[in-house]
């Protein structure tokens, strides 16, 4: 599940405001935040927020871009998706950002076999077509228990699929890496 926020700049103050006013107050504080080595993420104000909400900060290493690979891949895909909308008015990208993010979060992911929205919230989103055809999502009797069981199973399966994909990617990476022998 991804959250995106348009920003005029990347100062520590802006990052702090986004963290508190857009992320933590909407979704709750994350347990862990993975950031790069940017000064804005290492600033006193951001560190105080991490301390206040007991958020563990993990930082990528400068010479190991693979750590950022997932974020960089998402950013490329996000830019590609936005480009489809803003061909005639590129300066309006921020208007389309929430819609593109929603489209990503509600699309079933090949690796996870579920949508990020479902894995995050435990339900599929109510879309305009659902309202148009008057589809209701009411649960009766023991359906809550069954629903909860299905959601837990979906999360477990997504973790298994993710682990398999990571294992495959590691193998491809390792197969392409040359082993060097050191002789003394």
The model's pLDDT over 53-93, given as tens digits with 9 standing for 90+, comes to: 999 998 888 777 667 777 788 888 899 989 988 888 889 89
Domain boundary assignment for the chain: 1-59, 64-105, 106-126+147-167
CATH fold of 1-59? Nucleotidyltransferase; domain 5 (3.30.420)
The model's pLDDT over 105-129, given as tens digits with 9 standing for 90+, comes to: 998 888 888 899 999 988 888 877 7
Residue 74: CB partners within 8 Å, gap ≥ 6? Answer: 2, 104
pLDDT band at 166 (very low <50, low <70, confident <90, very high): low
* Dihedral angle computed from the Cα positions of residues 73, 157, 155 and 122, in that order, rounded to the nearest 10 degrees: 100
Secondary structure percentages of the chain, helix, strand, coil, to 5: 60, 5, 35
Higher local confidence (pLDDT), 3 or 170: 3
The SS3 assignment for 59 reads: strand
This prediction's pTM: 0.68
């Amino acid at each position: 599940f991804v959250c995106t926020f348009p920003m005029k700049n990347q100062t520590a103050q802006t990052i702090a405001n986004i963290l508190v006013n857009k992320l933590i107050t909407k979704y709750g504080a994350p347990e862990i935040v993975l950031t790069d080595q940017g000064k804005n993420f290492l600033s006193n104000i951001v560190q105080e927020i991490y301390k206040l909400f007991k958020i563990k900060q993990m930082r990528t290493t400068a010479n190991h871009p693979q750590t950022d690979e997932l974020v960089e891949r998402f950013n490329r895909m996000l830019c590609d998706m936005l480009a489809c909308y803003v061909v005639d008015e590129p300066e309006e990208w921020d208007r389309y950002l929430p819609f593109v993010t929603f489209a990503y979060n509600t699309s079933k992911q090949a690796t996870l076999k579920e949508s990020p929205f479902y894995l995050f919230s435990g339900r599929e989103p109510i879309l305009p077509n659902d309202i148009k055809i008057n589809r209701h999502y009411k649960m009766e009797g023991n359906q809550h228990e069954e629903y909860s069981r299905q959601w837990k199973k979906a999360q477990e399966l997504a973790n298994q699929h993710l682990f398999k994909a990571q294992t495959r990617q590691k193998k491809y990476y390792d197969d392409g890496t040359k082993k060097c022998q050191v002789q003394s």
